[in-house]
Amino acid sequence: MPAFMQCNPLVHLLFLLSVPIHHAFAIGIEFTTPAGGATWPAGPITINWTDAGGDPNMADLTTYTLQLMVGGNSPDNSKALQTVGKENAMVSDKGVEDDIQADLAQSIQNGFYLMMTSNTSQGNQVINYSNRFTLIQMNGTTEEAYLSGANKEAGAVSNVPEAQYNVISQPTASATSSSTPSATSSSTASTVTSTASASPSATDHPHSGKSNGETAAIITGCIFAVIGLVSIFIWAVFFIRRARRKRAERSAIEREAALNDSTSDLGKLAFVDGKAELPAHSASSSSSTFPRELTPTTERYEMHGFDKRAEAPSEMVFELEGDIGLYEAGSGRKSKAYDPTL
pLDDT in tens, 16-42: 443 333 444 479 999 999 999 999 999
CA distances to 3, 71, 74 from 143, in Å? 60, 9, 15
Residue 335 in any domain: the answer is: no
pTM score, whole prediction: 0.47
- The whole-angstrom separation of Cα 139 and Cα 146 is 16
Together in a domain, 95 and 47 = yes
Query: Does one domain contain both 18 and 53?
Result: yes
Q: Is residue 54 located within the same domain as residue 187?
A: yes
Query: Is there a single domain that holds both residue 291 and residue 236?
Result: no
For residue 33, is it within any domain? yes
Query: 3-state secondary structure string, 16-72?
Result: HHHCCCCCCCCCCEEEEECCCCCEEECEEEEEEEEECCCCCCHHHEEEEEEEEEEEC
Q: Is residue 337 part of a domain?
A: no
CATH code, domain carrying 72? 2.60.40.1930
* Segment 182-213, tens digit of pLDDT: 444 444 443 334 333 444 444 444 444 456 77
- Is there a single domain that holds both residue 60 and residue 166? yes
User: Does 312 reside within a domain?
Assistant: yes
Q: Do 120 and 171 reside in the same domain of the chain?
A: yes
Beta carbons within 10 angstroms of residue 33's beta carbon: 14
Q: Are residues 131 and 156 in the same domain?
A: yes
- The region of weakest confidence among 50-59, 172-181, 219-228, 304-313 is 172-181
Q: How many domains does the chain have?
A: 3
In a domain, 202, yes or no: no
Cα dist from 252 to 70, 245, 246, 257, 262, whole Å: 93, 11, 10, 9, 16
99 and 123 both lie in a single domain: yes
Structural domain that includes position 144: 3-193
